[in-house]
Chain A
């Protein structure tokens, strides 16, 4: 772990604000460090909260509770992501305090604060190797392409924690003569919605009743054994992860 050069410039700045008496100096330094790593970057809030794609934070007044809630949960429907899980509670509070300290900050002081801040990384939870394989992006198609878990992945095949038969593929025959193995989701707006499993990834198709010749039980489809996508050792890691997850 690298040793931080603490944000020296933030101290006199913080002293100018009414907050200074309430917030421990270390808290602002920690908040500034996290802000620099996760909030000021690229097109987000800009160095010192100067505004970019994200709104300007400098020179504005926010309620502390609102900041904590927003950092933790994000703002659904916008570009603001939730940091809960990536940051600890105390770290989220530190970011909120830092943002509040930007209220009376002048432009030059904010820029200076950023220059003085050091490199570091924001906290991330260690991942289970089996879980990593389940969602491993560099393989293209992976378990998560067809199975949802913990809010990630597509719910096309069965729930891997509680498998049932509702997602068993059937044979869908169209009047055009086309036939394919499909997971039938139900009807939506007058169409039958089916995942066509011949696509990789599967294709969600909306079929009119007039297009369908028959949907019958059973299909030629077989679950990928993982061969070619995962090694035997990797498959064991995935199974170990799922066993553990089922026991949660």
Chain B
């Protein structure tokens, strides 16, 4: 249940005093209705407090959660801190026992906790879900979803809390593994339902996998879903099929990989799906956030879902039935497909080949990474990043071995044909994709966006700058060097009438390492794990 602050009741899609969900609210707008900090005064923003987590490996990739003046923050190795959100004082901490004899390619990062019913929930580095007492941090229950030593999978995303359930995805999409979404009872930890992302024998969609390929076909669910309470539907994005670059052994559409699935919250039953990339051979997951917004389409108000995939294409569908509305792209350098037809089909596929090296754009790192977009109802603009980079990719046949990597190829980053690799943040019409403005960055932008009612968009770059842009023009209004790059998700909240903006800092992750292939100097960029919280200076102090 949402504990509604007064500011929330007017607009359930916006965060107010509290930041209760990973995406701000269940609709994943990453938009705050707070306006104390605005375009006129943002240049006076100054640090209010900081928290050094002491756990820098993998950087700080979290979205903090705030409720009634208390912040809940998880770090790479599943430490959880409860902090007084006005001054940074620690209220309690919890340290998950990470197995010592343990290696895994997905991690060690963690992207956040969820709170509901007096409990704090977190997925773990070794594929457990834990529930903590929200007041004390005491562990209440813990469930192993699947043995990570066997599946080669784990949980790095924040859970979604919905109707007495805690819903979690799983990594493992680049390994020989069959993915799922799991819902547990918040009170007891008992599994309420499980949705297999690859249908088993006898289930519809099973025929889209040749032979035994369904057993090892990936289909991870590695980010956090969204929820429409009115429709009772959970929207989860399903990642790429495995082997990533080599599809010969998995002939067929490979449902429900590279799809958005709409699941009935009570049962986990599939209501509809929309597959963006049938038979993906590029590792272009439909893995990222589902932004639920309403907008006019040809003069009619529609309930929409916007999802930008790793291939750099934004798909807009009707969230009541999954019907395709439009597709638009967030990068200039995109040659894996010629385009998307008016009915949503990919046209002109350009696939990797065995034993032959091809230049494909964008790179496996994505036309955009998982760091999330924001949507402002004030500007009706959708703020998302894009990365201009390409790769030389060579497919190869690999034999699946359960829980082991299963990529089906190798790649090497290269500059795009115009020799201008870079990152950018754009403001788009969420339906048509018409771009209003672009903010250019030397390197990929790997932090989420935060939009506010003060018409400011906040984000950070990998060089350590945390900055504010004018939501209407893209002009940079303010900048603060935080000392390490940004790979997490900033949030806004307020305590006792004072608005704060919290920025997780500390570079890490797969992409932070990958970047060095194209920008060798980034190998020496400093890591870290510090939350920096900003506010306007108080009068008379």
Contact = CB atoms under 8 A, between A and B. Distances in A.
Contacts of A53: 105, 509-510, 513-514
Interface in B141-170: 141-147, 149-151
Contacts of A118: 355
B412 A47 contact: yes
Interface string A165-199: 00000000000000000000000000100001011
Given A56-B516, A77-B100, A115-B394, 18 more contacts: A40-B410, A41-B409, A42-B283, A46-B411, A48-B412, A50-B412, A50-B517, A54-B513, A74-B103, A79-B104, A81-B103, A119-B396, A121-B398, A121-B399, A137-B151, A198-B190, A203-B143, A204-B142
Contact of B177 (A46, A137, A202): A137
Contacts of B142: 203-204, 206
A44 interface: yes
B411 A47 contact: yes
Given A76-B100, A137-B402, A138-B178, A115 B514 contact: no
Q: Which of B147, B177, B191, B404 has the most CB of A within 10 A?
A: B147
Given A36-B410, A51-B523, A137-B402, A205 B354 contact: no
Interface of B: 98, 100-108, 138-147, 149-151, 174, 177-178, 188-191, 194, 200, 215, 244, 283, 354-355, 357, 364, 392, 394, 396-399, 401-402, 404-405, 407, 409-412, 509-510, 513-514, 516-517, 523
A203 B174 contact: no
Given A47-B410, A199-B190, A200-B190, A144 B103 contact: no
Contacts of B364: 42-43
A18 interface: no
A40 B398 CA distance: 12
A196 B174 contact: no
Interface in A50-94: 50-56, 74-82, 86
A232 interface: no
A158 interface: no
Given A54-B513, A76-B100, A137-B177, A203 B139 contact: no
Contact of B398 (A37, A86, A200): A37
Contacts of A77: 98, 100, 102-103, 108
A137 B150 contact: yes
B238 to A, nearest CB: 17
B188 A42 contact: no
Contacts of A137: 146, 150-151, 177-178, 215, 402
A152 B103 contact: no
Nearest to B143: A203
Interface residues of A, number: 57
Contact of A138 (B150, B200, B407): B200
Given A56-B523, A78-B103, A46 B412 contact: yes
A46 to B, nearest CB: 6
Given A42-B244, A119-B397, A51 B513 contact: yes
Contact of A86 (B107, B144, B215, B401): B401
Given A114-B394, A115-B394, A137-B402, A55 B102 contact: no
Contacts of B244: 42
Nearest to A198: B190
A203 B143 CA distance: 5
A130 interface: no
A13 interface: no
Contacts of B174: 42-43
Contacts of B141: 196, 203-206
Contacts of B101: 76
Contacts of B107: 79
A220 to B, nearest CB: 16
Contacts of B143: 199, 201-204
A135 interface: yes
Contacts of A40: 410
A194 to B, nearest CB: 10
Q: Which of A40, A137, A191, A202 has the most CB of B within 10 A?
A: A137
Contacts of A124: 399, 401
